[in-house]
Structure 1
Amino acid sequence: MRDQSGENVKYWEFNYTNGNLAKALKHTYIKGGTGITNTEISYSYIYDDKENSLQYFFSKNPYLTVFFSLVGGTQYSMGKNNIVQISYESQKDGAPGLSVTHKITNTFDSETGLLRKQEVAWSNPVVSIERVYYYVKAK
């Protein structure tokens, strides 16, 4: 592909374990005015042992996976279980870059067992957000 930064190649590698994304590696190679730049971002995921409440909805409406990916990037589990930690590290031309860990605390509804709330805490910068889920039965 060519753009304003020069010629570039971008691709992803994915590794799955027990129905969950375990590792993802994003590669970017750019050949531009300053030479060749090689950037890699490595993502690692840790899961709980509870069934992913959102997997049913993703299987019935695959477009939801696209929407959730656009909104949350790599922060939503589309696999078998719920993410409890995401770590990623970047490097440019072999030199270490940013290193970030997201810890996710999942709360489940005591009656239905469905995921009710997720509290996400970032390590760098220190930020936290809360996601609350409401399930409405279709008629």
Structure 2
Amino acid sequence: TTSQSAPVTNSLLASLHAERMKRRGIDVAPASEADAVRHRDMARAITTAPSGAAASPNTLAKIRARRLNAEVDARAAYEPVSVSTSGGDIRMLTYNIWFADVAMSARLEALGRVITECDPHVLCLQEVTPQ
């Protein structure tokens, strides 16, 4: 038999986030039911806002103000957390790739060797273009 996992939903992600913050000693619950309602209303207003073409400047200003207030509230709600890690490392490889017809095959093979030798956890590739 094959086991199928349930789809990840926002409520599951919210629960996982709450558990993680609880382990760090950070209370993520709204201070009151009124705060929870206010946060839901702000989120609903932001996500159901009309597109810029159909919205009046006054409506757009209100939406921008709500978003700014939500960002300020979010920053104020979370104190910086110092995380201590021991052991382990993270290997990151960043590489600028030049896409041109000049020796492309040889350059891509060389890039493959570099990636294999470095065995990075994170690989960042950026295309170099004349612009």
**TM-score over 0.5 (shorter chain):** no
Q: TM-score range by the shorter chain?
A: under 0.3
Task: Choose 1 or 2 for highest CA Rg.
Answer: 2
User: Which structure has the higher relative contact order (CA within 8 Å, separation 6+)?
Assistant: 2
TM-score (structure 1 length as normaliser) = 0.20
Structure with greater proportional helix content: 2
TM-score by length of 2: 0.21
Higher strand fraction: Structure 1 or Structure 2?
Answer: 1
